[in-house]
């Protein structure tokens, strides 16, 4: 390859990159000098933001953002570095998302829960001296109390799982995964998306631009199988041939997305019909196509979706035969603008539960039915309050991606472009922490790819970036428009020692001797429930129980329990890990009384997994006003009299004992459900892990309140590795769904698949 520039010459950049290498692999600890407090109402308020009186707020005032405007505070720090910002706020009428900027540079968004003032923490790079922190309206309707600022302690950048979740992954796939893990947190791998076939310019334009400008080519090339595999209008656009050329001849890495179009008027569409591209879409609002039905055999949507997967599988099998793995990123950006109804793609239009069903169905179909074992599965997350609700589970994801487009400001209702080369370290750490650093985190799409200095200064250890193609207009020319990436920044990035380019990939990229995955040693958990959020259906699991919801925030280690209605007595379902024989914890509730807000603690105890009754009188522990514990018996009785009027509690696990020793890591202890008993009887409660537990929902092996293909997977994994994937007693009772009484066998998993395919209409199934 002809080099137009000297190869990777910057010694200063190299030294900085080496400093980063040693910094990010271990926890970045800073001796905090204490936090400083800043009242938002004393800041600069614009448009509809105003200071208003709010009982219970710090200083009795808040900055109330309504349908427009900004709130800004000036922060002084002695030295430049990474700082933790903790914002106390709540959304009015529901959770909200707002924009955060530092010194005029957008830092992505912050997610604000509804209810009482809650701490929202993020990390950001601050300069020595004065820094202006600005929150601007995205959704609006939020009350901001105050913010604290302190030096940050960042989590270590080291994924716990670095082998493919597919235990039958090919040798080349395992080798690529091992290489990605070896550079994670040490370097960033360069990537560039190609334009779609038939776009406004040639397929090589972006790559010629990079090579002519920097003398380098990206290590990763992005492809898309949406047009190729669409049964309504698609045809072979050469994607597979280009992947073969890129990997086999250029020695690069291939990633592929799946902008899979569906007919806009699907109700009138006939399977097999060819229609014009303009009559199809992948957006959420322009079609009646159902994602939940797409994952349900026997439906028209499923027949259409399976046509695409069948075509896709043939291409993947051709690549697999040539020893080519693919970073596979289907069904991306599902959550969209946040929450259950924010998706802009059809695969997210019915919310998180339907989406996860479709993801798992897609994984199971390609992996187990079509035997495509050359895929590294990438799933897109956001950093919103409920992003974990969309997570399909560790068993179905290899890499977590984030798609960054923060050079375009939509807060005014129209697109305003502004150069922004922040590394958005707060988003990187926010996503990493949301999923307990189990998976590597990548910038799977981007407008600007930041700068080397910002990546290093913010310690943002993105695995790779993949700049989107030039779309032909100023607001979509993501690679070449200097609003997104200047020529100077592009040259510096591609020539830096920190950035891995095509010619720097190792010669044994696909041939390292990596042993197959041993199911008995892998740390992948086979759960389809979000690892950070548990939400229980209100009607499916047990007709005698009226379920609320339980949400778990891994950052604060808090459970938020919402009952279906206020009650003096309710139940929680606690799950204890194997070997844990005792645990306790607390649930708090704010009680208004005589103009004050008292915090009341209720305590629960568990000696085994199962249902625990909480009576607000019997479980009362103490109450306080601020930091002062209330001792006045008469006042305590008045406060107790107000208990039972709340439907929302927050709490933590306080202590657990395992084999006689105090347990230091309490994250494995979960509150799965919160519910009321219909009719007031407690006779319907069960103790899931006790011997002789009764079935609660036949087929529901993973105890998530419904019967799906995921239960079939849980049964097979439990049979193959009971020590790691053992079912609870309740799950085992539910799993015995074929010829009940003969124990758990592969036939039980098959019966669930037969139910899902509508070959049978109910469980249990009797075949003997």
Is 429 domain-assigned?
yes
**What pLDDT, in 10s, does the model give residues 293-307?**
999 999 999 999 999
Cβ-Cβ contacts under 8 Å for 387 (sequence gap 6 or more): 111, 335, 381, 431, 434
Phi, psi at residue 59, to the nearest 5°?
75, 5
User: Does one domain contain both 693 and 660?
Assistant: no
Q: Tell me the pTM.
A: 0.67
Rounded Cα gap, residues 166 and 608, in angstroms: 33
Judge whether residue 540 has pLDDT over 50. Answer: no
Q: Give yes or no for residue 470 having a pLDDT over 80.
A: yes
Tell me whether residue 332 is in a domain.
yes
Q: Which range among 415-424, 512-521, 658-667 shows the weakest confidence by mean pLDDT? A: 512-521
Domain's final residue, options 99, 117, 151: 151
Structural domain contains residue 521 = no
**Residue from 691, 674, 685, 677 nearest 728 by CA:** 691
Of 57-71, 131-145, 640-654, the range with the lowest mean pLDDT is 640-654
Nearest 5°: phi and psi at 353?
Answer: -65, -45
3-31 pLDDT per residue, tens: 334 345 443 333 333 333 332 222 222 33
Q: What is the CATH number of the domain that holds 235?
A: 3.20.20.80
Of 105-114, 255-264, 269-278, 358-367, the one with minimum mean pLDDT is 105-114
Final residue before a domain boundary, out of 98, 120, 151: 151
What is the average pLDDT across 600-628?
86
pLDDT of residue 598: 86
pLDDT over 90, % of the chain:
56
pLDDT of 522: 45
- Tokens describing residue 79: 């030295």
The answer, yes or no, to whether residue 735 has pLDDT greater than 70, is yes
pLDDT digits (tens, 9 = 90+) for 664-677: 778 788 898 888 88
CATH code assigned at 46? 2.60.120.260
Q: Which of 273, 269, 277, 378 is nearest to 334 (CA)?
A: 378
Write the pLDDT tens digit of every residue in 703-721.
Answer: 888 888 788 878 876 776 6
In a domain, 349, yes or no: yes
| Same domain, yes or no: 677 and 621 | yes
Question: Is 317 found in the same domain as 461?
Answer: yes
From the list 136, 156, 150, 399, the residue with the least C-alpha distance to 255 is 399
Residue 341 or residue 597, greater confidence? 341
24 falls within a domain = no
- Same domain, yes or no, for 50 and 69? yes
Residue at a domain's end among 646, 663, 682 = 682
Tokens linked to 305 = 């979706």
Say if residue 254 is in the same domain as residue 140.
no
What pLDDT is recorded for position 115?
A: 82
Total structural domains within the chain: 4
Residue 158 lies in a domain: no
The reply to whether 159 falls in a domain is no
Let me know whether 64 and 127 are in one domain. Answer: yes
Average pLDDT of every residue of the chain: 86
Q: Which domain holds residue 644?
A: 534-682
């Amino acid at each position: 390859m002809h080099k137009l520039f000297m190869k990777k010459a910057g010694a200063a950049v190299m030294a900085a990159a080496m400093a980063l290498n040693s910094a990010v692999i271990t926890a970045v600890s800073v001796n905090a000098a204490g936090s400083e407090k800043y009242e938002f109402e004393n800041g600069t308020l614009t448009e509809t933001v105003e200071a208003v009186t709010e009982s219970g707020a710090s200083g009795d005032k808040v900055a109330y953002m309504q349908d427009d405007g900004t709130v800004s505070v000036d922060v002084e720090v002695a030295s430049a570095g990474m700082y933790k910002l903790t914002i106390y706020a709540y959304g009015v009428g529901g959770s909200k998302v707002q924009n955060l900027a530092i010194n005029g540079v957008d830092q992505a968004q912050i997610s604000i829960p509804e209810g009482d003032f809650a701490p929202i923490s993020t990390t950001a790079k601050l300069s020595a001296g004065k820094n202006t922190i600005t929150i601007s309206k995205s959704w609006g309707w939020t009350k901001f109390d105050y913010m604290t600022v302190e030096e940050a302690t960042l989590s270590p950048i080291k994924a716990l799982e670095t082998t493919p979740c597919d235990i039958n992954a090919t040798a080349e796939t395992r080798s690529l995964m091992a290489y990605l893990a070896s550079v994670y947190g040490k370097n960033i791998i360069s990537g560039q998306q190609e334009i779609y076939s038939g776009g406004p310019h040639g397929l090589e334009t972006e790559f010629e631009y990079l090579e002519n400008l920097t003398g380098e080519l990206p290590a990763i090339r992005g492809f898309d199988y949406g047009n190729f595999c669409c049964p309504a209008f698609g045809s072979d656009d050469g994607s597979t041939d280009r992947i073969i050329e890129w990997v086999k001849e250029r020695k690069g890495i291939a990633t592929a997305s799946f902008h899979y179009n569906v007919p806009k008027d699907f109700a009138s569409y006939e399977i097999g019909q060819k229609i014009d591209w303009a009559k199809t879409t992948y957006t959420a609002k322009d079609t009646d196509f159902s994602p939940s039905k797409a994952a349900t055999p026997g439906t028209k949507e499923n027949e259409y979706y399976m046509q695409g997967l069948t075509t896709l599988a043939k291409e993947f099998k051709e690549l697999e035969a040539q020893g080519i793995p693919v970073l596979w990123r289907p069904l991306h950006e599902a959550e969209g603008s946040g929450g259950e109804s924010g998706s802009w793609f059809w695969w997210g239009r019915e919310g998180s539960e339907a989406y996860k069903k479709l993801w798992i169905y897609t994984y199971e179909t390609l992996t187990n039915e079509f035997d495509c074992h050359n895929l590294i599965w990438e799933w897109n997350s956001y950093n919103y309050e409920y992003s974990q609700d969309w997570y399909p589970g560790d068993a179905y994801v290899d890499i977590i991606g984030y798609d960054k487009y923060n050079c375009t400001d939509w807060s005014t209702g129209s697109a305003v472009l502004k150069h922004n080369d922040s590394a958005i370290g707060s988003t990187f750490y926010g996503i990493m922490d949301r999923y307990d650093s189990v998976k590597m985190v990548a910038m799977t799409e981007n407008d600007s790819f930041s700068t080397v200095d910002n990546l290093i200064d913010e310690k943002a250890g993105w695995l790779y970036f993949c700049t989107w193609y030039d779309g032909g207009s100023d607001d979509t020319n993501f690679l070449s428009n200097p609003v997104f990436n200047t020529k100077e920044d592009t040259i510096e990035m591609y020539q830096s020692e920190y950035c891995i380019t095509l010619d720097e990939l190792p010669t044994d990229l696909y041939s390292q001797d990596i042993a197959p995955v041993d199911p008995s040693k892998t740390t992948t958990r086979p759960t389809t429930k979000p690892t950070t959020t548990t939400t229980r259906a209100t009607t499916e699991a047990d007709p005698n129980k009226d379920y609320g919801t339980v949400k778990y925030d891994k950052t604060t280690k808090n459970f938020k329990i919402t009952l279906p209605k206020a009650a003096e007595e309710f139940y929680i379902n606690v799950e204890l890990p194997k070997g844990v024989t005792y645990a306790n914890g607390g649930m708090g509730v704010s009680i208004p009384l005589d103009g004050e807000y008292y915090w009341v603690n209720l305590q629960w105890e568990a000696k085994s997994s199962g249902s625990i009754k909480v009576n607000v009188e019997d479980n009362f522990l103490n109450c306080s006003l601020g930091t002062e514990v209330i001792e006045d018996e008469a006042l305590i009785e008045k406060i107790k009299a107000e208990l039972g009027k709340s439907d929302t509690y927050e709490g933590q696990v306080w202590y657990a004992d395992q084999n006689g020793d105090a347990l230091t890591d309490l994250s494995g202890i979960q509150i799965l459900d919160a519910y009321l008993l219909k009719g007031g009887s407690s006779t319907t409660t069960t103790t899931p892990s006790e011997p002789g537990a009764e079935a609660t929902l036949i087929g529901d092996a993973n105890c998530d309140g419904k019967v799906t293909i995921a239960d079939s997977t849980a049964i097979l994994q439990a049979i193959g590795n009971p020590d790691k994937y053992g079912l609870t007693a309740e799950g085992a009772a539910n799993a015995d769904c074929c010829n009940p009484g003969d124990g758990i066998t592969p036939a039980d998993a098959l019966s669930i698949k037969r139910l899902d395919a509508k070959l049978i209409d109910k469980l249990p199934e009797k075949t003997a």
